[in-house]
Amino acid sequence: MHSTLQTPAQVSTRLAVFRHAWGLARPYFVSEEKTRAWGLLAAIVLLNLGAVYMLVQINEWNRVFYDALQNKQSAVFWKQLWRFLWLALVYIVIAVYKFYLTQLLQLNWRRWLTDHMLQRWLALQAFYRLELGRYGQDAAGSQVPDNPDQRIQEDLSLFTSYSVTLVMGAFNALVTFVSFVGILWGLSAAMDVSLPQLLGGGVLQIPGFMVWMAVLYCLVGSAITFFIGKPQVGLNKRQQLLEANFRHHMIRVREHAEAIALDGGERVEGTQLSLRFSDALANYLQLLKQQKRLVWFTNFFGQVAVVFPFLIAAPRFFSGAIQLGQLMQIATAFNQVQDALSWIVNNYPDIAAWRATTERLASFDHSLQAQARQGGVQLQDANALHAQALDVRLPQGRPLLKQADLRVQPGDSVLVSGPSGGGKSTLLRSLAGIWPYAQGQVARSQDAMFVPQRPYLPEGSLRAALAYPEAAQRYTDAQLQQALRDAELPDLAAHLDRQAAWNAVLSGGEQQRLALARVFLKQPAWVWVDEGTSALDGPTEALLYQRLRALVAARGGALVSVAHRDSVRAFHQTQWLLQSGLHQVQVSRAE
């Protein structure tokens, strides 16, 4: 037999969910919007109290109305009908505004929490660092969370919605129980139970018998619900992961559409997508089966609850001890108490989904906190580059550089070379200050631009893509057009307002030239180029490097490039050579 007792670890895990939920909720309720948040919450609480009060009034109305029917009192009957109209109208108004303010609180909370999470995700390049460790571990040694886009877009919406709904539902159930348990106790007769001779015989009188029957009924129902519904927590959490993986792979197919089409990879991608979708469907089928079992029980439990109070109270009615009005009042009060005590039974699927969502968001929040604590180089502003005691390693821990000392003076031009995979691009990322697996001190000019091999070009107008990440309005049309001509893109100069997905429309060489056009537009003193001309022909590459050299010379800065082609070496005075296993940079001057 399996023990039904929970271990301390299981209890601790359940309590941790509430700690995580409070950790996610607290920032909003102590934020600059706390007055509005608490005000809405207080209004919702008052409306819930008002709704329960109206239910108490309707419960009392039941007694008078059905007694009038039984006694054939037409005047009382019509009077109570008019009273019911007013009670119903007030209850409807309360219900409408309770719904509206609850949704408004959810909306405001989701908006604030989404902005809060986005800021943390984007701060200190956490979005980049999380991607680096996606198939590894974060700084705290825990698994890096998957699909941060889903955590922010979908999970935050579910968390705020479920949290408000469940908390207010639990509060409403508590108030309903407190309000109706006294009514039910007062309407319940004492029950005489004959004790067996083994217990001394005699009669045991149980006061408030209907209350104890409601409690017993709901305790049994809640225990069975927990037993049946427990697997749903894990299945809900896994379903969110599988759905996100399926969506993420479709996004990758869209982003790399050209490469997949050229490779003829549609069949492979179709297979991968089918596998991910099949996994999601298979898990959902398991979840559906578990939900079906729970629906079987909850519907049975709810239907029995309709007639259960009549079965208990019917003998008193038939004996003449109570009238029809009291019978109906007892049944209504019993159902309110039973419904309040059955809150877990009625809301278990939502509780399971809320718990899974909370655990996913808690792991994401933990990773963002870890990224904020994670190391990196100490950046300082200076006119020259000086990296001291620079240690660089890969995410898996393999060292690339140890205690390196690197210097670049204004007017220099440095070529970083070495075998593929030797860490050239990683060195540039470390000097830029974005590589989290580097330590040391780096002093360099902040008047700099870094040009990657595959630049990011936002969708929208060409002028916005060219000015990114600054506002296009900061530059005149003449400046934008001149930058395009300097980057050997004269044909685009007349299309500044054209809207397109530029990463898909432009060729690889055109994308690289557009990235260099940004440099010519913004005129930085220092330029760092990471294979930024690898897709260009020799003459165009030479022409653009001449212009880059002229730019940094005029601005009193320097040029640092990563490249494999020997043709680039002619535009640099100094070479940094990285060789696997040496963990140092060999510096040589061009002859």
**In this predicted model, what pLDDT tens digit does every residue of 101-124 receive, in sequence order?**
999 999 999 999 999 999 988 887
- Of 133 and 463, the one with more pLDDT: 463
- Answer with the residue of higher pLDDT: 77 or 42: 42
According to the 3-state scheme, what is the secondary structure of 330-361?
Answer: HHHHHHHHHHHHCHHHHHHHHHHHHHHHHHHH
Domain limits, the chain: 8-195+204-373, 378-589
Q: Is the pLDDT of residue 130 over 90?
A: no
**Which segments of 23-95 are extended strands (E)?**
none
Whether the predicted pLDDT of 186 surpasses 80: no
Fold of 378-589: Rossmann fold (3.40.50)
Lowest-confidence segment of 53-67, 69-83, 190-204, 219-233 by average pLDDT? 190-204
The pLDDT of residue 13: 61
Q: Which pLDDT score, from 0 to 100, does residue 491 have?
A: 94
- pLDDT at res. 96: 94
Confidence bin at 518 (pLDDT 50/70/90): very high
C-alpha distances out from residue 438 to 287, 383, 403, Å: 44, 22, 11
Query: Do the domains spanning 8-195+204-373 and 378-589 agree at the CATH topology level?
Result: no
Q: Would you call 423 helix, strand, or coil by DSSP?
A: coil
On the question of pLDDT at 4 being above 50, the answer is no
Task: Judge whether residue 590 has pLDDT over 70.
Answer: no
* Range of lowest pLDDT (235-249, 380-394, 448-462): 235-249
For residue 1, what pLDDT is reported?
34
pLDDT in tens, 48-95: 999 989 988 888 888 888 888 888 888 888 998 899 999 999 999 999
How far is Cα 255 from Cα 456, in angstroms, rounded to an integer? 12
**Strands 413-417 and 574-578, how do they pair?**
parallel
Could you say which architecture CATH assigns to the domain 8-195+204-373?
A: Up-down Bundle (1.20)
Looking only at the bridges linking them, the beta strands covering 191-194 and 574-578 are unpaired
